[in-house]
Amino acid sequence: MSEAFLLSLCIVCFTHNRITMNRSRILSAAILAAVLAGATWWMGKNPSHVAAAPNAVHPVWLESDSSAAIASRVRSDFSLTFDEALEAVRKDHPKVSEQDLRDFIALHYMEAKVIDDTLRVHRKSPRNLNLLNPQMNGGARRRGDHASAARISYVDSVLEFKAGRNELGGAHEVTYSFRIAVPYNEALRGDSLRVWMPVPRATQRQTAPEILEVSQPDYVISGDRSVHSTIYFEAPAPSEDGDTAVFEYTARFITRGQYASPEEILAALKPYDTTSAEYIRYTSPEAPHIIHADSLAHAIVGDETNPYRQSEMVYDYIIERYPWAGAREYSTIPCIPEYVINEGHGDCGQVSLLYISLMRSLGVPARWESGWMLHPGEKNLHDWAEVYFEGIGWLPVDVSFGRYTTSPSKAVQGFYSHGIDAHRFATNCGVSGQLWPAKRYVRSETVDFQLGEVESSRGNLFYPGWEQNFKLIDIHPVK
């Protein structure tokens, strides 16, 4: 059986029930076992795969055993001892005691985990403490309350475009290059490399990329064959010390903002066609990270039945209760929405998955979108969502950006619950999908896809086995 079939079988077996944390752990284990089985199947069918170089040291980033890979990532994430975490916190807060640190962990201001009978602290926790503890962050909790003037200007430009007052405010043409470099390592000598890099996918707000240059003449664009839009290359691994295998492409695309006012949405709303394939697909759970959380969803909205108002209530519930904090590796989290609820915080993708789960629980179609944010000086990985209103269509929802309450404009304040700026690079329309061509080993990013993926016949190449660079060459407004 192929890896794709095994993964599909595992997911189908669990999605008919509401996912609990225990089921999520079981499913994660099943997926890992399936990936490992897929890799074993491929090796058996391909006896010509290259054996490791004699006497080569097996680096920790070369992951041939999927279960061991996830365990290693957990250890890497929880890299601090209690004393090391205390020392790191005391750099900013010298008076913090050991008991204070235990209290911070109990309050979920810091994250800890027992590994091999020893308490280990998440490597980002000392920094997260300054974001999550109200006594250390100035009392800030609600997302968007401290938006910069630059951030607000990106919203203003889309609103001005929509109002007909700025014909260049609604879109940008972006030229960029994406590069992955794999340096020589004895463990890869004589092997070949398979590389996937993100490309913009064609959407209602974004054109398909025009490929301008490539480092290798033979490549594959995934198109609609995966929820992750990729360009794929193969090439030999570096054969000599000091050599580097470089995979790079340059492309151009157009990205557009979008906004619908509350008045437009409410005036156009129609009842859902609950029998349509699209409605059924985007109101169903997708284990393990899009779940049905019926009790919480209905507690948030009460007796409200209007899907737009339900979306606004869910949006505000999340931004008021779950502040941003540095994330764990997604591949180490059994169920991301439950993680956000239990820990009391989440990054952009984590709160987006919670939003999607809550909306689907209410019978309102919602889905994932992610890639990069391209705001000047803030280029970074970013995730958001989309919600579907019958009569309007799909609208973007960026839960992480929150309400820009520093602006006096109600449209600006409410923008990101039903709008998006024109500084995006969207490459994913779903989570945890199969890449095209299919990967043989567990992915470095098992949920999202933004940095790229690399593997050899001997295993997945996790970080820091390779280097990635996304370079913005030019970005300028267009009509």
Which pLDDT score is estimated for 57?
Answer: 72
Do 278 and 383 belong together in one domain? yes
Identify whether 127 is part of a domain: no
259 in Cβ contact with 162 (< 8 Å): yes
Assigned domain for 133 exists: no
Closest by Cα among 345, 446, 279 to 137? 345
How many Å apart are CA 340 and CA 170, to the nearest integer? 33
Residues 228 and 329 in one domain: no
Spatial neighbors of 314 by CB under 8 A, at least 6 apart, are: 297, 300, 301, 355, 358, 359, 362
The range of the structural domain enclosing residue 444 comes to 171-256+430-477
Average pLDDT rounded to a whole number, residues 309-337: 96
**Per-residue pLDDT at 344 exceeds 90:** yes
Mean pLDDT within 460-473: 97
Residues 290 and 401 occupy one common structural domain: yes
- Give per-residue pLDDT as tens, 95-119: 999 999 999 999 999 999 999 999 9
Say if residue 270 is in the same domain as residue 416.
Answer: yes
2, pLDDT greater than 70: no
Q: What is the DSSP letter of 123?
A: T
What mean pLDDT is reported for the chain?
90
Say what the pTM is: 0.88
In the predicted structure, residue 272 carries a pLDDT above the cut 90: yes
pLDDT in tens, 397-430: 999 999 999 999 999 999 999 999 999 999 999 9
Check pLDDT > 50 for residue 204.
yes
In this structure, the answer to whether residues 448 and 299 fall within a common structural domain is: no
Q: What is the pLDDT of residue 58?
A: 79
Whether residue 68 is contained in a domain is answered as no
Query: What pLDDT was estimated at residue 22?
Result: 39
In a domain, 139, yes or no: no
- Percent share of the chain, pLDDT over 90: 85
Range of lowest pLDDT (41-45, 202-206, 231-235, 302-306): 41-45
Q: Are residues 440 and 305 in the same domain?
A: no
Instruction: Give whole-number Cα distances, 41 to 70, 159, 194, in Å.
Output: 20, 53, 18
Looking at the structure of the chain, the number of domains it has is 4
**240 shares its domain with 347:** no
Instruction: Say if residue 183 is in the same domain as residue 97.
Output: no
Q: What is the pLDDT of residue 55?
A: 55
Average pLDDT value for residue range 372-400: 98
Instruction: Spell out the residues 6+ positions from residue 120 whose beta carbon is closer than 8 angstroms to its own.
Output: 75, 78, 79, 80, 81, 112, 113, 114
pLDDT at 53: 52
Residue with tokens 């209905």: 298
DSSP string, 301-314: HTT---HHHHHHHH
> Residue 212: which pLDDT band, with cuts at 50, 70 and 90?
very high
Average pLDDT over residues 345-373: 98
Digit-coded pLDDT (tens) for 138-149: 876 689 988 999
Q: What is the dihedral of CA 358, 159, 379, 226, to 10 degrees?
A: 50
Residue 384 lies in a domain: yes
Q: Please tell me whether residues 19 and 104 are part of one structural domain.
A: no
In the structure, what pLDDT confidence band is assigned to residue 376 with cuts at 50, 70 and 90? very high
Shared-domain flag, residues 437 and 366:
no
Same domain as 265, residue 250: no
Establish if 129 belongs to a structural domain: no
Q: Distance between CA atoms of 369 and 273, rounded to whole angstroms? A: 23
Residues 211 and 221 in one domain: yes
Residue 210 domain flag = yes
453 in a structural domain: yes
Asked if 291 and 18 touch (Cβ cutoff 8 Å), the reply is: yes
